[in-house]
Structure 1
Amino acid sequence: MTTPAPTPAHAAALLRHFTDLRDGTHGDAVSRKDKERLFADAIPLLDPYARQALAEVNTSLLLGQGDVAASGLRTTNDSSEALWVLTWAEQRASGIAPIVLHAYYGAGFHHPHLRGGTVGDWPLNVFTDDQAAAELPTLRAIVSADLHNLVFQRDFRIIPAMTKGAASS
Structure 2
Amino acid sequence: MTTENASPEAVESTAHLDALGRHFGDLRDGTHGDAVSRQGKERLFHDAVALLDPYAREVLREFDREMLHGTGTLEATGVGRTPDGGLAALWTLSWPEQRDAGIQPITLMAHYGRGFHHPHLRGATVAEWPLNVFTREQAAAEVPTLRAIASADLHNLVFQRDFRIVPSVVAGRKGE
Compute the displacement of 1:168 (Å).
Answer: 2.2
Say whether residues 1:105 and 2:105 are aligned partners.
no
Say whether residues 1:132 and 2:135 are aligned partners.
no
Q: Which residue of 2 aligns with 1:68?
A: 74
Q: Which residue of 2 aligns with 1:39?
A: 45
CA distance in 2, matches of 1:140, 1:43: 16
- Select the residue among 139, 144, 153 that pairs with 2:151: 144
Q: Which residue of 2 aligns with 1:14?
A: 20
CA distance in 1, matches of 2:39, 2:78: 19
Q: Which residue of 2 aligns with 1:82?
A: 89
Q: Which residue of 2 aligns with 1:92?
A: 99
Compute the displacement of 1:27 (Å).
Answer: 0.4
Compute the displacement of 1:162 (Å).
Answer: 1.0
Give, as a single letter, the amino acid of the residue that structure 2 aligns with 1:74: G
RMSD value over aligned CA atoms? 1.5
Compute the displacement of 1:78 (Å).
Answer: 2.2
Say whether residues 1:51 and 2:57 are aligned partners.
yes
1:107 is paired with a residue whose SS is coil
**For each residue in 1:139-158, what CA deviation from the matched residue of structure 2 results, as whole angstroms up to 9, or x when unmatched?**
00000000000000000000
Q: Which residue of 2 aligns with 1:120?
A: 127
The TM-score normalised by the length of structure 1 is: 0.93
2:20 is paired with a residue whose SS is helix
CA distance in 1, matches of 2:102, 2:168: 19
Compute the displacement of 1:24 (Å).
Answer: 0.4
- Select the residue among 18, 29, 35 that pairs with 1:29: 35
1:65 is paired with a residue whose SS is coil
Give, as a single letter, the amino acid of the residue that structure 1 aligns with 2:123: G
Compute the displacement of 1:163 (Å).
Answer: 1.2
Give, as a single letter, the amino acid of the residue that structure 1 aligns with 2:17: A
Q: List alignment gaps of at least 5 residues for structure 1.
A: none
The TM-score normalised by the length of structure 2 is: 0.90
Q: Which residue of 1 aligns with 2:173?
A: 168
CA distance in 1, matches of 2:103, 2:41: 34
**For each residue in 1:10-46, what CA deviation from the matched residue of structure 2 results, as whole angstroms up to 9, or x when unmatched?**
1110100010011000001001110000001111100
Q: How many residues align?
A: 165
Compute the displacement of 1:75 (Å).
Answer: 2.1
CA distance in 2, matches of 1:45, 1:168: 39
Q: List alignment gaps of at least 5 residues for structure 2.
A: none
